[in-house]
Amino acid sequence: MKKLVLAFFFLSVSLSGIAQENLNVMFYNLLEFPSASPGNRFIILRDIVAEFPPDIFMICELESEAGADTLLNETLNFETLSFNRAPYLTNQSSTSPLQQMLYYRRDKFTLENTSTILTSVRDINKYELKLNTVNGATDPVVLYLYVAHLKSSDGASNEAIRLDMVNEFTNDLLSLPPDAFVVFAGDLNLYDSNEPAYIELLDNTNPIVLKDPIDTPGNWHNNDTFQATHTQSTREDAGTFGAGAGGGMDDRFDFILLSENMLTNPKLQYVENTYKAFGNNGNCYDLSISNENCTGEFGQIIRNRLFSMSDHLPVVLQLQTDQEIVLGNTQFATPGPLLSLKSTVVSKQLEIHSTAPLDAGFSFAIYNTLGQKVLQWDGNPAQEIIVPIAALANGVYYIKTNLPTIETLKFLKNS
């Protein structure tokens, strides 16, 4: 009877993984991070990402690799070890120190490649992320992310520069498979949908056609008709901060665009009505985002944090996949030691990390999806444990420890 219950438990876990899973995506202009005031913004950002925990976190206006590490270690991985970041690459297009960066949930994605596209102003950063799915070896789900910060300010000359930058991106689309999943995100500094750069981004003759998920063409600048889409400025007066723009909420500068196939393909599909200017209740035209009259879905506390963090709001959306992700979480915030896997897709050995020393009696077993125990570990507990698993057949496995405070971990053996 005990074996039957155990088998049913693991079969239930396995079947539950087949259900569709949502992936949170966020782009955020962090405003001259880390130098701009106030000095504790990495703490402020903790509260923001706690409200919308991203699986993919793209940023711009990063000033240094030290700033990149602060965000990784003191914000995203403050209580868990869930995130990795892309390599930091200095801006090659000009002497500007401002750069883009990608952070991603390491249990859900693997970074396959990173590169830069040179422009006349700033690099466009290109990242190739692969979902950690059970069928990843034979039917991979790969997402190509481009993170950009286009030339600022209005006027014909600046519009022409933005178009030139976008042309570099659309030319790069020729290097991708024609059915690739593509995200183009950034502070695009666009004033209306008639701008040549915006028209080029959505041109249906491009190698891969992009779509604006909220499809709201018009003149976004200083137009209260589009106030729900505005992302800048969170501040009526930027003087006390010493950086960034003022003037209140009256521009839609920040975007996440998706390849057309992501509107219909269940492997990686946009979830309708999830695209938002995060923190914007749609009633804050020309006001600071923290104004007490801007009430609605986003409460006063989070709007105060957004006011302090940057002159921009984040843009967020959700994607959905019908593929089984190998592991929903590598680490769990429970009392006692926290365990995490260095990788959830392995071929020869498991590398297990503990946040605290383990008791002498610690042990764990590995089970297959039928609930059959295939390996028992009773070795010498350490904060880094390496377990040879080359002899195991390819497939999904579960790790169950003898500690009630540590939940089941999941990995894919794929030699």
E strands of 160-301, at which residues? 181-187, 210-211, 254-259, 269-270, 276-277
* pLDDT-above-70 percentage for the chain: 92
Structure tokens at 120: 């006349």
At residue 288, the pLDDT reads: 98
For residue 378, pLDDT over 90 is answered with no
At residue 252, the pLDDT reads: 99
Backbone angles phi, psi at 8, to 5 degrees: -65, -40
Chain mean pLDDT for the chain: 90
At residue 44, the pLDDT reads: 96
Angle formed by the axes of helices 41-51 and 300-309, nearest 10°: 140
- Following CA atoms 379, 325, 29, 40 in sequence, which dihedral angle do they give, to the nearest 10 degrees? -30
Q: CA-CA distance, 250 to 371, in Å (whole number)?
A: 57
Q: What is the DSSP string of 271-315?
A: PTT--EETT--S--BTS-TT-TT--SSS-HHHHHHHHHH-SB--E
At residue 327, the pLDDT reads: 61
Which of the listed CATH numbers 3.10.20.30, 3.20.20.10, 3.40.50.300, 3.60.10.10 matches domain 21-321?
Answer: 3.60.10.10
Average pLDDT over residues 25-52: 96
For residue 338, pLDDT over 60 is answered with yes
208-225 burial string, b = 16+ CB within 10 Å, else e?
Answer: bebbbbbeeeeebeebee
pLDDT in tens, 136-180: 889 999 999 999 999 999 999 999 999 999 999 999 999 999 999
Tokens 């030290």 sit on residue = 66
Q: Between 403 and 106, where is the model more confident?
A: 106
> DSSP 3-state assignment of 401?
strand
The amino acid at residue 251 is D
Give the residue among 400, 407, 408, 394 at the shortest CA–CA distance from 345: 394
At residue 404, the pLDDT reads: 60
Q: Is the alpha carbon torsion for 183, 189, 194, 196 positive or negative?
A: negative
Q: Are 136 and 267 in contact (CB under 8 A)?
A: no
pLDDT in tens, 75-100: 998 877 789 999 999 999 999 899 99
Average pLDDT over residues 294-314: 97
Q: Between 263 and 106, where is the model more confident?
A: 263
Class of domain 339-413: mainly beta
Average pLDDT over residues 207-216: 98
At residue 197, the pLDDT reads: 99
Average pLDDT over residues 13-38: 82
For residue 343, pLDDT over 60 is answered with yes
Task: Show the 3-state SS of 355-369.
Answer: CCCCCCCCCEEEEEC
Least confident of 28-42, 195-209, 219-233, 342-356: 342-356
Give CA angle at 367 (364, 368), nearest 5°.
160
Tokens 């990495």 sit on residue = 42
For residue 111, pLDDT over 90 is answered with yes
Helix/strand/coil percent split, the chain, to 5: 20, 30, 50
Per-domain residue ranges of the chain: 21-321, 339-413
Bridge-based pairing of strands 124-131 and 109-117 is antiparallel
For residue 320, pLDDT over 70 is answered with yes
Q: CA-CA distance, 117 to 199, in Å (whole number)?
A: 20
Backbone angles phi, psi at 198, to 5 degrees: -65, -40
Of the pLDDT bands very low, low, confident and very high (cuts 50, 70, 90), residue 359 is: confident
Q: Between 308 and 11, where is the model more confident?
A: 308
